[in-house]
C-alpha cells in the first residue's frame, strides 16, 4: 500500500530550468509520485522536445518558455500556465548558472548575471506564483539552494552570495506567506555531476578533493535529490516551513 502523505496526484508542479540536470530529474521524481509537470527553459525547441519525451514515457507534462531573469516574461508565463494549463500547486525554483573567476577579477556583468539568474529570479517567479497560491490558501515552494548557501569556495563568490540569498529569501517567504497556507523550503544539493559541473567532473584533482571532503566519498546522483523534493512538495511536510534540507552526502555536517 502506498503512503498517501507523499502522493502528488491531482497536483501540478512547475519546475524552472528543467530541460536537463537536477531540474529534469526533479520533474521525473515528482511525476513518479503522480504530479502533473510544467517544464520550463529558455529554448522553446528544447523544452518542447523534453516535454514530448516525458509524455511518451507516460507522464502528464506541459511546458512554459521564459527566461527567469525577465520579470515581465515570467509574469506573462505564469499567467498563461494558470489560465490555459491549470493552477500551480508546487513551484520548484531550480534554474541557475555558474561562472568562475577569482573575486578580484570578477566582471560586473558576470556578477549581475549570476545574481539575476540565481537569486532575483526566485523573487520574480515566486511572487508571480504566490499571487495565485495566496487566494487558494495553499501552495508549496521549493528553492534550490546549495552547500554554497553555507560555505565559501574559491572563484565562485557571487554564486555563494546568491545561494546564501536564496536560503534567506526562503525564510522571508515563510515569514510572509505561512499565514496563507504556503510552505517555502530550501533543498540544498552538494556536488552533482551535471552539465554545470562538467569541468569539475573531468578534473581528477577536484574529484579526489571532493571525495575526501564528502563523508559519502563520492559525487551525488541527481536521482538522490528526488526524495527530499517529493517530501517538500507533499502533505508530508505541511508543518515544515522556512527550512533548508542539505542533500550533500554529509559535506556540510563535517569538517
Ligand atoms: P544545469 O546547467 O545542468 O541546468 C540548468 C538548467 O537551468 C537548464 O535546464 C537551463 O535550461 C536552465 N536555465 C538556465 N538559465 C535559465 C534562465 N535564465 N531561465 C530559464 N532557465 C534557465 O544545472 P544543474 O542541473 O546542475 O543545476 C540546477 C540548479 O541546482 C541550479 O540552481 C544550481 O545552482 C543548483 N545546484 C547544482 C549543484 C550541482 O552540483 N550541479 C549543486 C548545488 C546547487 P536552458 O538552458 O534550456 O534554458
ipTM above 0.95, yes or no: yes
Query: Could you tell me if 34 and 6 are in contact, meaning their C-beta atoms sit under 8 angstroms apart?
Result: no
Segment 7-16, tens digit of pLDDT: 999 999 999 9
Res. 1: pLDDT tops 70: no
* Distance of CA 3 from the midpoint of ligand 1 (Å): 31
User: Over the stretch 147-206, which tens digit does the pLDDT of each residue have?
Assistant: 999 999 999 999 999 999 999 999 999 999 999 999 999 999 999 999 999 999 999 999
The CA 135 to ligand 1 mean position distance, Å, reads 30
Question: Domain-by-domain residue ranges, the chain?
Answer: 4-253
Q: Ligand 1: residues whose CB is within 6 Å?
A: 16-23, 40-43, 46, 67-69, 94-97, 117, 144, 146, 189, 191-192, 194-197
Give the CATH class of 4-253.
alpha beta
pTM over 0.95: yes
Catalytic choice (159, 180, 191, 246): 159
Residues 6+ apart with CB under 8 A from 253: 215, 246
Phi, psi of 9 (to 5 degrees): -60, 145
Amino acid at each position: 500500500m502506498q503512503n498517501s502523505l507523499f502522493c502528488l496526484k491531482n497536483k501540478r508542479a512547475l519546475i524552472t530550468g528543467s530541460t536537463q540536470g537536477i531540474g529534469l530529474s526533479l520533474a521525473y521524481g515528482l511525476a513518479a509520485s503522480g504530479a502533473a509537470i510544467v517544464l520550463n527553459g529558455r529554448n522553446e525547441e528544447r523544452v518542447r522536445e523534453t516535454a514530448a519525451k516525458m509524455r511518451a514515457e507516460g507522464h502528464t507534462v506541459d511546458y512554459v518558455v521564459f527566461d527567469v531573469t525577465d520579470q515581465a516574461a515570467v509574469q506573462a508565463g505564469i499567467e498563461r500556465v494558470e489560465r490555459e494549463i491549470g493552477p500551480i500547486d508546487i513551484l520548484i525554483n531550480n534554474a541557475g548558472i555558474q561562472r568562475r573567476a577569482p573575486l578580484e577579477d570578477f566582471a560586473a556583468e558576470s556578477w549581475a548575471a549570476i545574481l539575476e539568474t540565481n537569486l532575483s529570479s526566485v523573487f520574480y517567479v515566486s511572487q508571480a506564483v504566490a499571487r495565485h497560491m495566496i487566494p487558494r490558501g495553499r501552495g508549496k515552494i521549493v528553492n534550490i539552494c546549495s552547500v554554497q548557501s553555507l560555505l565559501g569556495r574559491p572563484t565562485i563568490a557571487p554564486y555563494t552570495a546568491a545561494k546564501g540569498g536564496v536560503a534567506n529569501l526562503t525564510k522571508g517567504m515563510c515569514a510572509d506567506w505561512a499565514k496563507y497556507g504556503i510552505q517555502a523550503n530550501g533543498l540544498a544539493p552538494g556536488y552533482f555531476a551535471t552539465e554545470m559541473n562538467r569541468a569539475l567532473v573531468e578534473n581528477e584533482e577536484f574529484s579526489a578533493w571532493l571525495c575526501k571532503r564528502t563523508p559519502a566519498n563520492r559525487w551525488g546522483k541527481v536521482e538522490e535529490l528526488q526524495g527530499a523534493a517529493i517530501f517538500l512538495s507533499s502533505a508530508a511536510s505541511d508543518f515544515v516551513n522556512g527550512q533548508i534540507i542539505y542533500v550533500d552526502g554529509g559535506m556540510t555536517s563535517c569538517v
